[in-house]
Amino acid sequence: MAESEEKAQTFDIPKTCKAGVVVNEGPDFHVEVQDVPVPEPGPTDVLIKLNATGICHSDLHFMLNDWAIPKMSVFGTKCAGHEGAGVIVKVGDQVKTLKPGMRAGFKPIQDTCGVCALCRDGDECYCTKAVLTGLMCDGSYKQYVVSPERYTTLIPDGVNDYIAGPIMCSASTIYTSIKESGLKPGDWAVFPGAGGGVGMQGVQLAKAMGLRAVAVDTGDDKQKLCIDTAGAEHFIDFKKVESVADEVVRICDGVGAHGVFVTAVQTYPSSISYLGGRVGGKVMCIGLPPVGSYHMDVDPNQMCFKKQSVQGTLVSSMADVDKTLEFAKRGLLKPIYTVYPLSKFDEAVQKLRRGEIAGRAVVDFNQEVYVEGMSRSSPSRSPLGHTEASSSRTSNGKQPAVDDDHSDEEALLADDPLERDLPEQISFKRKQKPTASSSSFGLPRFFSSSSPVGTPSARHSPLPGSSNSRIQQLRNTPRANSDTELILNYLDTPGNAGEHLQDTKDATGLDWYVEGPGRRVGYDDLTAIDWIFEYAKERQRLRYLYSGATGVLGHLKQLADASQVWIILVAAGILSGGIAAFIDIASDWLADQKTGYCSNVDGDGRFYLSKGFCCWGIAEMQECHDWNSWGEAMGIGSVGGKWIVEYIFFILFSVLFAACASLLIREFSPYAMHSGIPEIKTVLGGFVIRHFLGGWTLVTKTLGLCLAVASGLWLGKEGPLVHVACCSANLFMKLFSNVNNNEARKREVLSAAAAAGISVAFGAPVGGVLFSLEQLSYYFPDKTMWSSFVCAMVAAVTLQACNPFHTGKLVLYQVTYHSVWHDFELVPFAFLGVLGGLFGGLFIKLNMSVAEWRKHRQYLKGPVTEVVIVSFVTALINFPIKFMRAQASELVHILFAECADLTEDTLGLCKSGKANTGVVALLLISAGLGILLASFTFGLQIPAGIILPSMAIGGLFGRAVGLSVSVFQQAWPSLFIFGSCAPDVPCVTPGTYAIVGAASALAGTTRMTVSIVVIMFELTGALTYVLPIMIAVMISKWIGDAISPRGIYESWIHFKGYPFLDNRDDNGSSIPDVSAAHVMTRIEDLTAITATGHTIDSLRKMLTKHRFRGFPVIDNSRDALLLGYISRTELQYALQAALTPPRNLSDETDAYFSHQPLSDPTMSLDLRPWMDQTPITLNAKASFQLTVSMFQKLGLRYVLFTDRGTLRGLLTKKDVWYVMNGMEEQVEEERAEGGAGLGVGRGGLREERDGVDEESEERGLLEREEEQDRFISARER
């Protein structure tokens, strides 16, 4: 069993649950579904959540109170039942052998003394202290029940809950009776009442044990079930023969039955006669009649002369229950039952009371009402995903029958190689934690308002072993509803009634053609966009524009339309440059306030100036009287006293700035936290995250960045500036509806705007374009590169015009090198690449470990509290160490600079000889502490980037290496390797090592390559250092990939669970080499809509029942020919619009999804325009690698799988993401364990892991709407 299955699972347990409560106990009783408290298990008990319960005749007697036993009410019992099957959700403190997640049954005996002779000999059901379930304690009519550990039966894999429930009583009881009868293989076993639940199971068990079964009952349906399904050799219809006893004797060799197993109490008076003259014959009494109703007239002479006997069986022992379950696991007990939803509880009980049910009646706790058109002859699936051979369930509660109308056709198809069954379905693991409500029966749902005529399994052979995939289990997981704002008008979703929604995609008066891209409304939050539809819609818009644009006015319209994107990009570039300048100025001033303030010496009140501008024009070696430190302001004269006071003020201001930034995020825009690059990558990949690029996010991110950078935390503003630039572009896009209403075009503009963010962060316009191309963009056509260049250039020019540093530099750490490097330096440059790769790989692992710890910690949970603690510790460490006290940008500038360009060596980096030893040690200590602090800082609820901290850390160890090489060269200048060095001229420039180290560290962290080299070139302007930087970056990426396959941004995408599929990922090891049929959600697990037979009201009810995001459309439930796909949003909008002016259709109006030539278009609703009539489809046997490639390259939301036109399954983007995720983790685990091969097991796929129930997050198109609670907007907070 997989490792994940061995761990105890946790479940969300409600305070109340549904239960069938007995009302008016006695002859006029009925069962009423009520909410009752969930019981609490004792120290040695387990709490079982039942998925299904069988209904037994014993339950009727308990509720009728027609036995000579006390009433249920005497014991305080409200719920009958003793045939439950479900899953353990909680265990007591002293429970040792059972744990949550195990499947368990609930039996007729709840507990016994466990110590008497009867209990020790396996006859515990006769124990005088036995607690009868459903009489002396609440039974399985209640969804949550308590069971003692010692008397709890586990249900094996391969037995679904519909079968396992009745096994707890009826099947196991008849098994015990057959076993105790002593019959041998070949003996005749007669079953009066064989059409009932106990009798039907008895016939099957008798056949499995080698007996020759004779069924006695009435009706053609029951005869068909007993003979064809249960396996009886003979069926006697007691209404069609004069004497059942004579017919039994005739069949049984003319002698009589070896055993008679009475389950129908009406046959007790005549049952002895079935034995005829059989020596040693037995009558086994199983059914319990009401007191004084039926008796057996036994002739003692016959008993003695023929050695005949009568014996009773109450219920089974635990051992016999386990043996009966083993029969079911081997497929020897076929699922013959009628399933009722919870709302039909009383109907099921009353039908059983009237004898109108063949097989066993089962109530499904997870089904409130019937699912229309549900197939009853297709493979049945349990709530925990176990598959059985067949099912005779009916949706209306009628007697089931086996469908063999197409047996001949199936026999022919069996020989067709194209009709071979798809391989057994396997699934993939999830990271999420299972919940008690995660179970789903996974039944095929073909929704049609009219009665179905069959399922695809009637035409094609069923999929063998098609166990319910994790996708289906997770899809049915109920979640708390989110208040996420929808984007449609008039939707009647609970919580949004009457609310006007925005961004309707079909807002214009243009009538879309049915054969065109179809109609769409805006995308819901946290869903994927349809790239193909968006570009098709844009092409149609342009065609409409150009076809009607004639003359001068027409050409002006075309020009105005073409210029919209350029206006947005220019405006976004200007705003991005202005915001970057503001952040530079504000953060510089706030950071200086930690050490002092600009005094009013000249009387002109210059407190608003930073230290640099306050002391502008004063030589660095001269004292600046206008700048007062906090020690001087407090009037402290001693050096030590000043140091302590300045230390305290440094800590106070650092904590204050960080706390304010965190409070801004918490109160106004949670999406403004972090760097924003993982979310931008996800958005550009086609995911919709509303409010992430909103106006409040822009303002909050800007102000938060100023405070966060000034706090001195180990973070940077470079990554967040990308988010700021995208927010700026999104702000201007709202002014142009043609761009704003097309999600694909919006992402092209955002890709271009992202380049502006890096452009103003590094003063590197070309590097910004390459950064967007290499790191961010999912789809980057040639025109986007030109747009990116323009936006990056405008942003850089704006920043240059603002000149925030008054130095003419775009960023503080721009440097210029005058020296050249030597051949021997290639070795230390390569060594820096090794260090950068090690740093990047290990930092990512450390940072993600901290993130995992932060998510699961049980203390200091407040995000603001955590920010305060981290900022306090950071300030406490930073102040005493001169390299860490400086702002990160200032530190990088000093590390990069040549000593000749520094007028004052404030950090002691320009010493010579052995004097550098202490400096090298301090540089390495600072780098180590920086790694630790950055790993805790990146991920706090605060605007924070990782680019500048990575460069600072790389610069620290790069400068240390450079100083070490310089000391070595100065100590041994005559070595042959230094032959190229000129005398009396510095041979080694340590600053160049710092910039190479910074590039390698950045490459190790982000896994960028070309863009880093270009950015560093633009920072230094030294073309001669491009080669060393390239070498270091190349080695760093290789080593980083070996340690951690994902970069820092991809790791955070993975951590946050965003459904991002990298279309540039060529790592084939993460894609399992299987067919798509192994992973897809099969047709049996989908809710498909038939093309006709609907009304508006029936479709609205269907939407209320099934909360999925989309539905395949098929021609009918028998053939299941795929016609298209319609999303929930479009269907809901179309139905509501039809009921409102101007159409004002009634609820009973016919609605259809296919061409209806005889229908009146004014009096019916054609939903074809809202349906995707040309969805991307693949053959079900297609390679999964091909499927993944299509998702990655085409940006698909879903792919439908067919077999010669017949729908076979579906995969969504999130499904593929889960598989890829699991396989990557498996590869990492195997690498860690030293394994070389890639198996199919614990990672992305499943082998023999059916029944493992795990929780899902939001799933592309087919996720439930309730699965959005992870993402909270500022308004909701």
Res 201 pLDDT > 50: yes
Could you tell me if residue 1123 is inside a domain? no
Q: Do 20 and 34 lie in a common domain?
A: yes
The amino acid present at 103, given as its one-letter code, is R
For the ranges 315-319, 515-519, 1038-1042, 1172-1176, which has the lowest average pLDDT? 515-519
Q: Strand (E) positions, 63-102?
A: 84-91
Q: Do 599 and 745 lie in a common domain?
A: yes
Span 758-798, pLDDT tens digits: 999 888 889 889 888 888 877 667 788 889 999 999 999 99
Which helix (DSSP H) or strand (DSSP E) does residue 283 occupy?
Answer: strand 282-285
Res 478 pLDDT > 50: no
> How far is Cα 944 from Cα 937, in angstroms, rounded to an integer?
8
Take residue 250 and report the two structure tokens written for it. 């005739």
Span 165-179, pLDDT tens digits: 999 988 999 999 999
Q: Do 605 and 716 lie in a common domain?
A: yes
State the helix-helix crossing angle for 743-762 and 1010-1020, rounded to 10 degrees.
40
Find the mean pLDDT for residues 1161-1174. Answer: 88
Find the mean pLDDT for residues 1270-1275. Answer: 36
Number of domains the chain contains: 4
Do residues 633 and 596 lie in contact, with contact meaning Cβ atoms separated by under 8 Å?
A: yes
Domain that holds residue 953: 823-861+884-1056
Using 50, 70 and 90 to split pLDDT, how confident is the model at 1060?
confident
The amino acid present at 917, given as its one-letter code, is T
Using 50, 70 and 90 to split pLDDT, how confident is the model at 1068?
low
3-state secondary structure 153-208: EECCCCCCHHHHHHHHHHHHHHHHHHHHHCCCCCCEEEEECCCEHHHHHHHHHHHH
> How far is Cα 781 from Cα 788, in angstroms, rounded to an integer?
11
* Percent of the chain residues topping a pLDDT of 90: 37
For the ranges 253-267, 272-286, 904-918, 1067-1081, which has the lowest average pLDDT? 904-918
Take residue 1221 and report the two structure tokens written for it. 């995720």
Could you tell me if residue 1102 is inside a domain? no
For the ranges 305-314, 631-640, 687-696, 1198-1207, which has the lowest average pLDDT? 631-640
> How far is Cα 364 from Cα 480, in angstroms, rounded to an integer?
22
Predicted confidence at residue 473, as pLDDT, reads 40
Cis amide leading into 289 (omega within 30): no
The amino acid present at 187, given as its one-letter code, is D
Task: Classify residue 968 as exposed, middle or buried by CB count within 10 Å of its CB (0-12, 13-18, 19+).
Answer: middle
Find the mean pLDDT for residues 1158-1165. Answer: 82
Could you tell me if residue 661 is inside a domain? no
Residues with Cβ within 8 Å of residue 433, at least 6 apart in sequence: 9, 10, 1254, 1255
Do residues 281 and 252 lie in contact, with contact meaning Cβ atoms separated by under 8 Å?
A: no
Could you tell me if residue 342 is inside a domain? yes
Res 501 pLDDT > 90: no
Res 452 pLDDT > 70: no
Do residues 239 and 264 lie in contact, with contact meaning Cβ atoms separated by under 8 Å?
A: no
Res 123 pLDDT > 90: no
- Which CATH number does the domain housing residue 949 bear? 1.10.3080.10
Find the mean pLDDT for residues 139-155. Answer: 93
For the ranges 229-233, 1104-1108, 1145-1149, 1252-1256, which has the lowest average pLDDT? 1252-1256
Predicted confidence at residue 841, as pLDDT, reads 93
* Percent of the chain residues topping a pLDDT of 70: 80
Torsion, Cα of 679, 681, 682, 684 (10° steps): 120
Could you tell me if residue 1167 is inside a domain? no
Residues with Cβ within 8 Å of residue 637, at least 6 apart in sequence: none
CA-based R_g, the chain, Å: 38
Do residues 794 and 569 lie in contact, with contact meaning Cβ atoms separated by under 8 Å?
A: yes
Find the mean pLDDT for residues 332-359. Answer: 86
Q: Do 108 and 186 lie in a common domain?
A: no
The residue among 302, 329, 356 that closes a domain is: 329
Residues with Cβ within 8 Å of residue 699, at least 6 apart in sequence: 668, 669
Using 50, 70 and 90 to split pLDDT, how confident is the model at 477?
very low
Res 229 pLDDT > 80: yes
Q: Do 756 and 798 lie in a common domain?
A: yes
Find the mean pLDDT for residues 1227-1248. Answer: 41
Could you tell me if residue 372 is inside a domain? no
The residue among 1030, 1056, 1082 that closes a domain is: 1056
* 876 three-state secondary structure: helix
Res 421 pLDDT > 60: no
Residues with Cβ within 8 Å of residue 710, at least 6 apart in sequence: 586, 587, 589, 590, 591, 593, 594, 657
Of 866, 682, 698, 690, which is closest to residue 1271 (Cα–Cα)? 690
Q: Do 679 and 705 lie in a common domain?
A: yes
Task: Classify residue 255 as exposed, middle or buried by CB count within 10 Å of its CB (0-12, 13-18, 19+).
Answer: middle
Find the mean pLDDT for residues 111-135. Answer: 86
The residue among 1034, 1056, 1078 that closes a domain is: 1056
Predicted confidence at residue 456, as pLDDT, reads 38
Do residues 467 and 385 lie in contact, with contact meaning Cβ atoms separated by under 8 Å?
A: yes
Could you tell me if residue 905 is inside a domain? yes
Residues with Cβ within 8 Å of residue 712, at least 6 apart in sequence: 591, 594, 650, 654, 871, 874, 875, 878, 885, 887
Distances (CA, A) of 589 to 613, 717, 889, 922, 1000: 9, 15, 14, 28, 31
Q: Do 181 and 160 lie in a common domain?
A: no
Res 125 pLDDT > 70: yes
Span 542-588, pLDDT tens digits: 888 887 777 888 888 889 988 999 999 999 999 999 999 999 999 98
Sign of the alpha-carbon torsion through 409, 411, 417, 420: positive
**Beta-carbon neighbour count of residue 543 at 10 Å?**
11
Take residue 1001 and report the two structure tokens written for it. 């560290």
Q: Strand (E) positions, 332-441?
A: 337-341, 360-364
For the ranges 520-534, 550-564, 1088-1102, 1162-1176, which has the lowest average pLDDT? 520-534
Of 518, 496, 391, 374, which is closest to residue 443 (Cα–Cα)? 374
Q: Do 239 and 149 lie in a common domain?
A: no
Find the mean pLDDT for residues 415-429. Answer: 43
Res 969 pLDDT > 80: yes
> How far is Cα 454 from Cα 467, in angstroms, rounded to an integer?
20
Find the mean pLDDT for residues 726-754. Answer: 92
> Residue-wise over 609-633: b if at least 16 C-beta within 10 A, else e?
bbbbbbbeeeeeeeebebbbbbbee
Using 50, 70 and 90 to split pLDDT, how confident is the model at 1214?
confident
Distances (CA, A) of 128 to 107, 120, 518: 17, 13, 72
Res 699 pLDDT > 70: yes
Predicted confidence at residue 534, as pLDDT, reads 86
Q: Do 902 and 992 lie in a common domain?
A: yes
Query: What is the full DSSP assignment across 690-719?
Result: TTTTSHHHHHHHHHHHHHHHHTT-S-BSHH
Q: Do 970 and 1052 lie in a common domain?
A: yes
Span 593-611, pLDDT tens digits: 888 888 765 555 577 787 8
Span 1011-1024, pLDDT tens digits: 999 988 888 777 78
For the ranges 211-225, 975-989, 1183-1197, which has the lowest average pLDDT? 975-989
Is 103 or 915 the better-scoring residue by pLDDT?
103
Find the mean pLDDT for residues 223-252. Answer: 91
The mean pLDDT value of the chain amounts to 79
Res 1246 pLDDT > 70: no
> How far is Cα 349 from Cα 57, in angstroms, rounded to an integer?
9
Task: Classify residue 500 as exposed, middle or buried by CB count within 10 Å of its CB (0-12, 13-18, 19+).
Answer: exposed
Res 882 pLDDT > 70: yes
Q: Do 786 and 902 lie in a common domain?
A: no
Residues with Cβ within 8 Å of residue 935, at least 6 apart in sequence: 843, 846, 847, 850
The number of angstroms, rounded, from the C-alpha of 1109 to the middle of its chain's C-alpha atoms is: 14
Q: Do 840 and 907 lie in a common domain?
A: yes
- Which CATH number does the domain housing residue 300 bear? 3.40.50.720
> How far is Cα 174 from Cα 196, in angstroms, rounded to an integer?
12
Predicted confidence at residue 480, as pLDDT, reads 35
* 1051 three-state secondary structure: helix
Could you tell me if residue 399 is inside a domain? no
Predicted confidence at residue 36, as pLDDT, reads 94
- Which CATH number does the domain housing residue 67 bear? 3.90.180.10
CA angle 673, 678, 680 (to 5 degrees): 90
> How far is Cα 737 from Cα 475, in angstroms, rounded to an integer?
35
Which helix (DSSP H) or strand (DSSP E) does residue 1226 occupy?
Answer: helix 1213-1233
Predicted confidence at residue 67, as pLDDT, reads 81
Predicted confidence at residue 376, as pLDDT, reads 36
CA angle 1186, 1188, 1193 (to 5 degrees): 95
Res 470 pLDDT > 50: no
For the ranges 93-97, 353-357, 1050-1054, which has the lowest average pLDDT? 353-357
Span 16-38, pLDDT tens digits: 999 999 998 888 899 999 999 99
Do residues 1011 and 1037 lie in contact, with contact meaning Cβ atoms separated by under 8 Å?
A: no
